């Protein structure tokens, strides 16, 4: 999916919601556990319930990898079930020496056909550049994350810049706004003004709204650009809105609630 298609989907749905599929088999409703593939059945119900209100799904690969070979099967089935007009993210946080990254890029862009993948940039340009060589595929680079430990490295100074600012400047110099995004946590909303001075045109993937307490209003106020430029991710607050047989209906209600809030700004 290219930039124009993503923007068109956002404007058509009046939503910039990304639903995170952090599907933990220990948390899904008990009545699904006797199914052949409980994880896929859960994801399928969530997708059916939320697809009208979101423009992206973020599949957290760790939750699938934890289940071994059958987890990869569940992940591939989930990816194939997502409607083609919805942007797909492999939340895999890859980034390694060149040859290895080429293989990771092939795995997620050719074998699994995700639209994008999250990337850890700290081994440098050659460790993530292979992901930007695919047409209409995106690399989503970790910049300023929402976790407590972000202060250990990302918010440390490197000369006049914070490390996350160096990531933004360096990465945006060898990519473009059409195939690169950056992860910026909603809990760091006050930093969006600084970030937008460096990357005014790029999309930002924003976790932390919902269960982590980030403010949608603040993110929009400081982070939105003329092309919207935001994908707001919500995972637990939507997919685990209920642990009972009504889990899909409750997920739908939460997704609709967030989409309705977003529509105000579009």
Backbone angles phi, psi at 227, to 5 degrees: -100, 20
* Given 93, 250, 256, 257, the catalytic residue: 93
Instruction: Provide CB contacts within 8 A for 48, sequence distance 6+.
Output: 248
Residues making up the chain, counted from first to last: 266
Annotation says 70 is catalytic: no
Task: Look at residues 229, 232, 230, 222 and name the one whose alpha carbon lies nearest to residue 257.
Answer: 232
CA angle 125–128–134, rounded 5-degree value: 120
> What three-state secondary structure class fits 160?
coil
Strand partners, 264: none
Task: Give the active site residues.
Answer: 93
């Amino acid at each position: 999916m290219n930039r124009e298609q993503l923007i068109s989907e956002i404007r058509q749905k009046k939503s910039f919601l990304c639903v995170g599929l952090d599907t933990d088999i220990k948390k899904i409703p008990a009545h699904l556990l006797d199914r052949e593939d409980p994880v896929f059945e859960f994801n399928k119900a969530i997708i059916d319930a939320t697809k009208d209100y979101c423009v992206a799904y973020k599949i957290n690969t760790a939750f699938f990898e934890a289940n071994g070979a059958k987890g990869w099967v569940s992940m591939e089935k989930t990816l194939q079930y997502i409607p083609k007009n919805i942007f797909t993210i492999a939340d895999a946080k890859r980034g390694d020496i060149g040859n290895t990254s080429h293989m990771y890029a092939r795995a997620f862009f050719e074998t699994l056909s995700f639209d994008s993948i999250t990337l850890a940039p700290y081994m440098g340009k050659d460790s993530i550049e292979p992901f930007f060589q695919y047409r209409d595929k995106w690399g989503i680079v970790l910049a300023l994350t929402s976790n407590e430990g972000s202060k250990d490295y990302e918010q440390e100074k490197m000369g006049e810049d914070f490390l996350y600012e160096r990531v933004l400047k360096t990465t945006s110099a060898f990519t473009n706004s059409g195939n690169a995004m950056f992860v910026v946590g909603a809990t760091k909303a006050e930093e969006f003004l600084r970030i937008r001075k460096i990357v005014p045109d790029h999309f930002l993937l924003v976790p932390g709204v919902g269960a982590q307490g980030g403010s949608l209003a603040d993110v929009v106020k400081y982070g939105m650009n003329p092309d919207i430029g935001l994908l707001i991710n919500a995972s637990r607050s939507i997919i685990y809105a209920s642990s009972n047989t009504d889990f899909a209906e409750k997920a739908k209600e939460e997704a609709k609630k967030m989409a309705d809030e977003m529509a105000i700004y579009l």
